[in-house]
Amino acid sequence: MNFYSYDYLVQQNSQQNIFYLSSVVVVAIVAIVMGALWWRQRTELKYRDLFVIMMLLLFLVIGSQVNEWQNVKNEYNQKSQVIRVIQSAAREKHVKKEQVWANTTNITNGMLIKVKQHFYKVEVSDDSNSFTLSKSVLINRTIHYVRVKN
């Protein structure tokens, strides 16, 4: 069973959009260069063809990235809710956030958190604005801790 640290969840939320944004920027730059070459040398049809291909590729990449960005946004919201649960549990149990671990990156009913050596089951309300902690006991004590790699 994996348990994720507070720092890991925070770091994962901040790095996801870099790849998607960079791919759109690279294709856009190539399309601009091809457009400029075609504009400068209008008799060279290869630049026009390359420009049209790059524009089609740009639209394809943007179209596929819109769906991916929506998925990333949903994952970001889920991780943000788990982060808020960890922060609230740490405040309630009077421990540091770094001493609280969650067994999932998505907020769900029945997720587990570990506070020091104690395990708690989290029940989330329907509106996701509140939760209840109830003490829990693990049957399988094999735990893998996922931390930020330094």
Q: pLDDT tens across 59-92, in order?
A: 887 887 787 778 878 888 888 888 999 999 999 9
Cα(64)–Cα(2) distance, integer angstroms: 31
**DSSP state, residue 85:** H
Q: What is the pTM of this model?
A: 0.67
Give the pLDDT confidence of 13-39 residue by residue, as tens digits: 555 567 767 777 888 888 888 888 888
Give the pLDDT confidence of 137-150 residue by residue, as tens digits: 888 878 888 888 76
Residues of the domain holding 34: 2-146
Q: Could you please report the per-residue DSSP string of 20-84?
A: HHHHHHHHHHHHHHHHHHHHH-TT-HHHHHHHHHHHHHHHHHHHHHHHHHHHHHHHHHHHHHHHH
Cα(99)–Cα(86) distance, integer angstroms: 9
Domain count along the chain: 1
